[in-house]
Amino acid sequence: MTASIAERHQYILTRLREQGHITVIDLSRELKVSAVTIRKDLKYLEEKELLFRTHGSATPNNPYINDRPVNEKEKVRVSQKQRIARYAASLIEPKDSIILASGTTVIELARQIRAVDQLTVVTASLNAALILSRDPLIDIIQLGGMVRKSSSSIIGPYAEEQLTNFSCSKLFLGVDGIAPDYGFTTTNALEANLNKQMIEAAQRVIVLADSTKFGRRGFSRICNLSQVDKVITDNEVHSPFIRKLEEAGIEIIIT
């Protein structure tokens, strides 16, 4: 028996709550109706403000991210960021040389770092540099250039040029969005360019991202999935996102 319109709509919303992301192709197959019918269903549900449509899929929240000041973002999902940061800090080894990008989870990582031997940190984050400067065992290289006020971090070609002279073991990268079909993104084009240079300067790329970043995308792409080694996130991330990242060869750590 074919599902009614109301039953289809309820099925779509239930699947969306469970998975955080659904595609037209999957819904068409599962409900045994055409892709045209599913698109009409999604359009209707979007008009009722129950979901957001994207290219061939839907998400429960607006997938496109607006830039917000760092002091505002620091107040959101604090406990999740602390857990992510604690695990990330445990990956830092004695005499390591690391890169810290920018973002609130990266700032939290700076608070969690306890150097047991000499540590070198290259960073774009002004807040992270200030926090780490209190530890006598940490040498800090603050990248120079234009200050992006919303994130209290450095961006621009001068910082990018500096990174060409460094080779570090790990990059800890904060992102604004993770879309399996698009990659890792941020809201600022200059920050994305700097992040790309950081990736080139690091042997391993570790992304720190709470579960709200999955299924979303910022204005500028940093990199595709194949360029990231590990993602550390919280336990509220939907399993389909985990599977897609693991299929791309990324190690997922859930805190």
**Range with the lowest mean pLDDT among 79-88, 178-187, 203-212?**
178-187
pLDDT tens for 8-21 read 999 998 888 877 77
* Domains 5-59 and 70-254 belong to one CATH topology: no
pTM score, two decimals? Answer: 0.78
From the list 106, 105, 137, the residue with the least C-alpha distance to 124 is 106
Q: How far apart are CA 51 and CA 19, in angstroms?
A: 13
Give the fold, CATH level 3, of 70-254: Rossmann fold (3.40.50)
Give the fold, CATH level 3, of 5-59: Arc Repressor Mutant, subunit A (1.10.10)
pLDDT tens for 50-63 read 888 877 888 777 76
Q: Where are the domains of the chain?
A: 5-59, 70-254
From the list 215, 252, 120, 229, the residue with the least C-alpha distance to 173 is 229
> Looking up tokens 């269903």, which residue turns up?
41
Average pLDDT in the chain: 91
- In one-letter notation, the amino acid at residue 120 is T
pLDDT tens for 75-85 read 567 999 999 99
Averaged pLDDT, 116-123:
95
From the list 109, 112, 138, 142, the residue with the least C-alpha distance to 124 is 142
Q: How far apart are CA 61 and CA 44, in angstroms?
A: 16
* 3-class SS of residue 69: coil
| Per-residue confidence band for 3, with pLDDT thresholds at 50, 70 and 90 | confident
Contact 202, 238 (CB under 8 A): no
User: In this structure, is the dihedral angle defined by the CA atoms of residues 189, 191, 195 and 197, taken in order, positive or negative?
Assistant: positive
